Amino acid sequence: MLRVETQQSADTLTFKLEGRLTGEGAEHVRTLVTRGDGEMLLVIDLTEVLYIDAVGEQVLSLLQRLGARFVAETAYSLDICERLHLPLARNGKSNGHAWSGADGKGEQGTGSLRGSEIN
C-alpha cells in the first residue's frame, strides 16, 4: 500500500510518500505530479518509503527530469537517491507537520494537506 500526502505553499509542491512505491501506485504518483503546476518547486519526500520496484524507479527518474528535489532521511531512501542520482533538497527535514522545500524553510500551516491511499 502507498500513502501520498501533498502540501502546497506559495512556491513549493511537496509529495510525502509512505509505504511501497510500486506498479499502479507509482503510476498514480506520476499522474498526480504531472497534473500539478509546472512553475512550482517540486519536492518528493521518500523518507517513509519501504520499497520501490522498477516502475517506481522509472517514475522517480521522470520526476527528477521534471526538476524535482528529494528528501531522504533513512538508509533505504538515501540509497535509492544515490543509486538513481536523484538530487536531494537542501535541509529537507520533515517531521510530518512542518514541510520543507529546497530553501529549508518550513511551510507549516500553509497550503493544503491532502492524502490518499492506494492498495
pLDDT in tens, 90-119: 865 443 333 333 333 333 333 434 555 655
More confident residue, 11 or 37: 11
3-state secondary structure of 83: helix
H or E stretch at 49: strand 41-52
Q: What pLDDT is attached to residue 90?
A: 80
Give the torsion sign (CA, 103, 4, 56, 49): positive
Distance from C-alpha of 80 to C-alpha of 52, rounded to nearest angstrom: 8
Q: What pLDDT is attached to residue 106?
A: 38
Say if CB 21 and CB 48 are below 8 A apart. no
Give the torsion sign (CA, 99, 1, 52, 60): negative
**Whether CATH 3.30.750.24 fits 2-95:** yes
